[in-house]
Amino acid sequence: MQQHFVTFYSPGTFVAETTQKQIDSWDTDTAVEMAREIKERYGATPYGFRFSTRTRGADDLDSRVTETSPTYYLGGKIETLADVEARNDPDERILRSNMRNNGYDRIVVNDNSWRCVQPLQSDDVVLDFTR
């Protein structure tokens, strides 16, 4: 038995708020439309989503995640470490330090809800998105 899910990520106080929903397939267009309906605490809306597939065999008591997608960001601006360093904004001192210390070459800055800055992995996708 196999079932697909999409997990939406919205800005939270300390960690991302998440909402998981079943989906027929890993269809980004469907997930984007689903994201438009999600509202978390304080009116936060998703900045991105990730697909997963859960599988359960005949002898398994519960399902397990057998596949996950990269993160799909709902819009945002891609910035490199060089971009952030060139700005030399005193308010971004911790961001610069985190990027250097964690080896993050790129970030995505998403403002479609509350501002969210996330490391951008090589296989992540930034979608063209307007609310």
Residues of the domain holding 120:
74-127
pLDDT, residue 57, reads 86
pLDDT, residue 130, reads 81
Domain boundary among 73, 89, 107: 73
Note whether 34 and 65 are same-domain residues. Answer: yes
> How far apart are alpha carbons 89 and 8 in whole angstroms?
31
Q: How many domains does the chain have?
A: 2
Note whether 13 and 59 are same-domain residues. Answer: yes
Note whether 42 and 6 are same-domain residues. Answer: yes
| Integer angstrom CA distances of residue 106 from 11, 28, 82, 94 | 19, 23, 9, 15
Domain boundary among 52, 73, 94: 73
pLDDT, residue 87, reads 94
Let me know if 128 is exposed, middle or buried by CB neighbors in 10 A (0-12, 13-18, 19+): exposed
Note whether 67 and 80 are same-domain residues. Answer: no
75-109 burial by CB neighbour count: b if 16+ within 10 A, else e? bbeebebeebeeeeeeeeeebeeebeeeebebbbb
Note whether 86 and 67 are same-domain residues. Answer: no
Note whether 85 and 100 are same-domain residues. Answer: yes
Note whether 13 and 37 are same-domain residues. Answer: yes
Note whether 44 and 66 are same-domain residues. Answer: yes
- pLDDT tens over the chain, length 131 residues: 999 999 999 999 899 999 999 999 999 999 999 999 999 998 999 999 999 999 988 888 888 899 999 999 999 999 999 999 999 999 999 999 999 999 999 999 999 889 999 999 999 999 999 87
Note whether 67 and 6 are same-domain residues. Answer: yes
